[in-house]
Each structure stands twice: as structure tokens, then as C-alpha cells.
Amino acid sequence: MSLKSITKQSELNIGVIGHVDHGKTTIVKSLTGTWTSSHSEELRRGITIKIGYADMPIYECISSNSNVTYTTKPENHGCKNKHSLKRVTSIVDCPGHESLMANMLSGAALMDAAILVISANEPVPRPQTKEHVVALNILGVKNLIIVQNKIDLVSKDEAMKNYNNIKKFLDNANLKNVPIIPVSAIHNLNTDVLLNYIQENFSTPKSNNGKSLSMYTIRSFDINDPGTPYSKLSGGVIGGSILDGKLKVGDELEILPGFLERKDGKIIHNPIYANVLSIHTQNTSLKEANSGGLIGVQTDLDPSLTKADGLVGNLCGKPGKLPDVKYELDMTHDLFDYVVGTADKVKVDKISINESLRLNVGASVTLGHVTSVTDVNVRVNLLKPVVADKDWTVAIARRVSDKWRLIGASKVT
């Protein structure tokens, strides 16, 4: 069956996370057939820089002896005439490099479940492995599985030693019961076991279609070729995931904070309004999209606004229904004992007045200066405004040895 025949919208977002060079994108390719690192700089450097995504349909296959297995490619699985589509999931491929942690957190904001990739031929845990586990805890992602990748590069004894080190790391991270699946993604070894686990253990979240529309924007594009005549230009495309509500072709959208400009030395926001011209998944067009999964939305926006991810971090919804745009955030804060992501233990000092912090709020990233702080609460004046509502989770990072490192989490008050 061709993927183009799929008309079902994705029901579940699964993040693929982990330290750089541990094979996350190869895992996604093995599961979905899509190589998500397609940006020119990604291809040159061999790492994921921008958030990648791919649809993954899961088919149930029944063999001649009535055994049930799952596959993403029934035409290659020996069950061409005895299969049924169970559901469609979306894979979110997140950057693993330490300098791209803000991008990873933006992708993690969309996750219903996660695959943490740990290489069998490297020490456990690497700094970003610890950092990504903490990020999942901050964002409340409970469905997790560990993939021990690249087992083809080590001996059986080395694989077992690495496996035991992963178990020890999980025990220390209060993840004792999280399963570990040894995999060689490049050889498609055991990826069928991984797929079976996903289908049988990653539950589909309840939809929130009765609420007002809100959609995170994690990518935006200009799909026009250079030199396209003005009369033939296609409107800008935004990509992301619906958190609540429904989106239909013909709907009007408000996009916040929208277009940012500098006036009198300050950055101010201007709401953007757009009409929805079409809605797409990776493999099909939709007339209506519900919460869950990743979609691309073509609008009537000037493509100069959406090119090169120009609208990433914005929240989309029905006009007048979105939370407020904030130029300062009042938050509770819960600091960690130690900085996350460093090779050595670095104690987290208290937040201080005038300190610079990096904040991840939903899919948005901003910097700010602390204007007041107590043992429980902190107020941050933002350099770039964000949309935020009460009780939204915020990840807090500060500069440690010239790099942004996670030091705590907070809730908007």
C-alpha cells in the first residue's frame, strides 16, 4: 500500500532524542524511511540542527500462522494482503548537540512519548544524555523507551557492559523500569521490536478538540523557487502541532507574538493574521486537523515572513482567543542541585538580580534579565516577548563556562 493512500491524521507525537552522533536520525530513517536531516548545513556537518519530522503509519500484519506483528511497510513485510492500518504517529527528530539544547526543548514541547537513543560504543551517560532526560522530566513526558544503538560496532561483552551502565544510569535517574532495546539502526536490526513496543505501550493521548484552537509553530517555510513571478507565489507555510481544538481550511488565524520590530530601543510585537488555504501531513491533504500529530499549514501570508523558520516559536489560534503576549514573566522556580549538561558536577547557585537567563516557554525561546527574585518567585524582563499562560512550564538555563546549561524549571504565575 502506498503511503499516499493514508488519509488518517497522526494521533501521537514521538520524540527521538539523545546525545549527538548516537544515531537518532538513522533510527528515524529505519522506522519511517525518511531522512529528516535535509537542511544543507545538517548535511554538511552530519548532525541534526533544525527539528525534523516524519509520519510513521503503523500496520498490523497477520501471518499465515495467525501471528500478529507490526510494520510501517506492509508491502515489504510478507503480509501484503493481510494488513490493516492501526494508527499514524509522527516522529520528531530533535537536535542532540549541546549548543542546540534550546531547539531540542522546543521539539520536546510537542512530545507525547520519547525514544532516548544511547550509543553502545560510547561511555554512559554523556552530558547531553543527562540533559535530555532532565528535559523530559521538566516537560512531563512519561512514555519513554531507551534504544541502545550501534550494537554492530561492539562485541557482545562490550554491549553487555554498556547495557549495564545504561541500567545504572536509569536507576539513578528514577527510571528503573524503562525498557532498553538493543538496535543496529543502520542494519535495521531489532527495529521491528522497537516498533512493536511503540504500538503496544505508547498510548494515544486524549484529544482536546472541544477547546479553542492553539497550535505551536516549530518550523516555517517559503516553498517558492527563487525567481518565481509575483503572480504565481504561494503563501507562507507554518508547521507544528495542534495542542487543543480543531483547524479547518478557510479558518482565520491569529499568530502571536507575530512580527517583531524594534522601536525606541525596545522590541515590540505586532499580531499577524492569516487565512488557512490548505492543511497537509507528510503524505496527504486534510480538510480538517485535530490535536495530535504534525501538520503543515499553507496560508496567504507573505512568504518573506515564514522563510528560514521566521515564525518559529509563535502560537496560532482563533483571533482574540490566545493567551496574552508577555514582555516580562513572573514565575515560581525550582532549581536543581547541580547544573545539567556539564561533565563535572557544578553546584547551582541562587538566581540573582540582573542575571541573564535563557527561558524555553512552550516552543518559544527567549532571553531575559532578572528584575526581582525571592526563594520561591522570580521576575524576568524579556528581551523578546512570548505567549504564556498561567501554570505553563518554563525551562531555565544560565551561562556556565560560556554555554547555556539547564539549572531549573518553573511555572508561570
Q: Where a domain ends, among 317, 347, 364?
A: 317
Per DSSP bridges, beta strands 364-373 and 12-18 are unpaired
- Higher per-residue confidence, 321 vs 3: 321
Averaged over 315-333, what is the pLDDT? 95
pLDDT at res. 65: 66
Q: Are residues 62 and 166 in the same domain?
A: yes
Q: Are residues 301 and 341 in the same domain?
A: no
- The CATH number of residue 366's host domain is 2.40.30.10
pLDDT at res. 95: 65
Q: pLDDT at residue 164 above 70?
A: yes
pLDDT at res. 200: 92
Please give the residue range of the domain that contains residue 275.
214-317
What total of structural domains would you count in the chain? 3
Calpha distance 137→377 (Å, rounded):
21
pLDDT tens for 52-68 read: 788 888 888 877 666 77
Averaged over 306-313, what is the pLDDT? 92
Q: Are residues 15 and 154 in the same domain?
A: yes
For residue 264, the tally of other CB atoms under 10 A from its CB is 5
Q: Are residues 32 and 133 in the same domain?
A: yes
pLDDT tens for 194-234 read: 999 999 999 888 777 678 999 999 889 999 999 999 889 99
Q: pLDDT at residue 278 above 70?
A: yes
Q: Are residues 308 and 376 in the same domain?
A: no
DSSP, residue by residue, 295-311? EEEEESS-HHHHGGGTT
pLDDT tens for 129-148 read: 888 888 888 778 888 999 99
pLDDT tens for 1-29 read: 344 445 556 678 888 888 766 577 888 88
3 state DSSP class of 30: helix
CA dihedral 157, 162, 168, 169 (to 10 degrees): 180
Q: Are residues 261 and 406 in the same domain?
A: no
pLDDT at res. 20: 66
Q: Are residues 148 and 60 in the same domain?
A: yes
Q: Where a domain ends, among 179, 201, 223?
A: 201
Query: Could you tell me if residue 208 is inside a domain?
Result: no
Averaged over 168-193, what is the pLDDT? 92
Q: Where a domain ends, among 295, 317, 339?
A: 317
Calpha distance 74→59 (Å, rounded):
7
pLDDT at res. 61: 84
- Higher per-residue confidence, 1 vs 395: 395
Query: Could you tell me if residue 206 is inside a domain?
Result: no
Q: Are residues 312 and 330 in the same domain?
A: no
Could you give the C-alpha distances from 233 to 118, 223, 280, in angstroms and in order? 44, 9, 18
